[in-house]
Amino acid sequence: MSNVIDIVNLGKRHRRSFALSDLNFQINRSEIFGIVGADGSGKTTLCRILSTLDKPDTGDAVILGYSLKNQFQQLRPLIGYLPEKPAIYNELTVIENIYLVADLRKVDKQTLPNRNSELYKQLKEFASLPAQELSGGTKQKLALYLSTLHNPPILLLDEATTGLDIISRDDLWNNLSELQASGTTIIYAGSDFEEVERFSRLAVLNKGKMQIVGTLPEILTTLPDNRIFTIESSENIPELFRIVKGFPGISTCYLWKENTIRIVLKCGVEKFNAYLYDFLKEGVVVSKATPCIEDFLLTL
């Protein structure tokens, strides 16, 4: 598989501290590639650099054969970017927003119905509606259309499904799958861990550093499979949480669902069970769990 993005020693300084340091990885053609990390891990900074809006302070990325640092003008038409807060003119209608961006991108308006045609069809019924009257999901569809109407081979999205309901999310992902099938390379940055299964591969960022790159199963195999457990109880979860957290062999401990705590242990479960038994005689169920991305991120 050929790579379309080759990131080499990439770094970005904000004031005195590094928001990104020494990133190295490749993204292949037609991947849906995830950039995953906690808030503040550097996802937006990386998206802004890859979309040519910001320049790196160290290193470079070669995108479709062009240097990000030295040839960003040639790169701009090849990249679509859907930022966390898309630039949509609320007072303008859907079609006015589309025409405005078409003019800026020097795209012939006659060709618009053939560009990302399925999405165009979906938006057509709202053509004369001011953007401010659109639902969240339809507004995000408009934002996606605006960022792809110049048919970029690379599309970057930052937290694109945040705040959307499950139906709008699925809709957006269907649109992205269609773009991928037509050859677009998609890079999706987000902190919603439910989305990770949609990525062909992902890079995990932690405080601006690249922690790991791989498929989800590859990343999860780095976790100690026999040391991840859920603890369920029908009562006083905050007190149970405090007790569990006090166990010296805990690597990670977090609230998983309303009445379930999830843990990653540094030691065998027997020691943990013995510790727990000293505090609570009954009503607590400890079960082995299948590793998930949250276990990985919270163990960092």
Ligand X SMILES: Nc1ncnc2c1ncn2[C@@H]1O[C@H](COP(=O)(O)OP(=O)(O)OP(=O)(O)O)[C@@H](O)[C@H]1O
130 DSSP 8-state letter: B
Residue (11 or 249) nearer to ligand X, CB: 11
Residue (42 or 229) nearer to ligand X, CB: 42
Site string for ligand X, 268-287 (x = CB under 6 A): --------------------
Cβ 295 to ligand X shortest distance, Å = 20
Cβ 92 to ligand X shortest distance, Å = 27
Which residues, 6+ apart, have CB-to-CB distance to 154 below 8 Å? 4, 5, 63, 64, 78, 79, 80, 184, 185, 187
Phi-psi region of 214 (alpha: psi -120 to 50; beta: other; left: phi over 0): left
Residue of 58, 71, 74, 191 that binds ligand X (CB under 6 A): 191
Q: Which residues of 216-247 are buried (b: 16+ CB within 10 A; e: fewer)?
A: beebbeebeeebbbbbbbeeebeebbebbeeb
Q: CA-CA distance, 246 to 18, in Å (whole number)?
A: 34
Cβ 262 to ligand X shortest distance, Å = 22
Beta strands 201-206 and 32-36 are: parallel
Cβ 45 to ligand X shortest distance, Å = 3
Question: For ligand X, how many residues bind (rule: CB under 6 A)?
Answer: 12
Q: Are 112 and 149 in contact (CB under 8 A)?
A: yes
Tokens read off for 18:
């590094």
Residue (21 or 184) nearer to ligand X, CB: 21
Cβ 56 to ligand X shortest distance, Å = 13
Q: CA-CA distance, 77 to 93, in Å (whole number)?
A: 25
Cβ 7 to ligand X shortest distance, Å = 15
Site string for ligand X, 229-268 (x = CB under 6 A): ----------------------------------------
Residue (152 or 208) nearer to ligand X, CB: 208
Cβ 32 to ligand X shortest distance, Å = 19
- For ligand X, the binding residues in 14-53 under the rule CB under 6 A are 14-15, 19, 37, 39-45
Cβ 143 to ligand X shortest distance, Å = 17
Q: Are 152 and 120 in contact (CB under 8 A)?
A: no
Residue (115 or 209) nearer to ligand X, CB: 209
With contacts defined by CB under 6 A, name the span among 1-9, 11-19, 129-137, 280-288 that binds ligand X: 11-19
Q: Where are the beta strands (DSSP E) in the chain?
A: 3-14, 17-28, 32-36, 58-63, 66-67, 79-82, 154-158, 185-190, 201-206, 209-214, 228-233, 250-257, 260-265, 284-288
Residue (13 or 105) nearer to ligand X, CB: 13
Q: Are 157 and 149 in contact (CB under 8 A)?
A: no
Q: Does 124 bind ligand X (CB under 6 A)?
A: no
Count Cα neighbours of 163 within 13 Å in the Cβ-side half-sphere: 11
Binding site for ligand X (CB under 6 A): 14-15, 19, 37, 39-45, 191
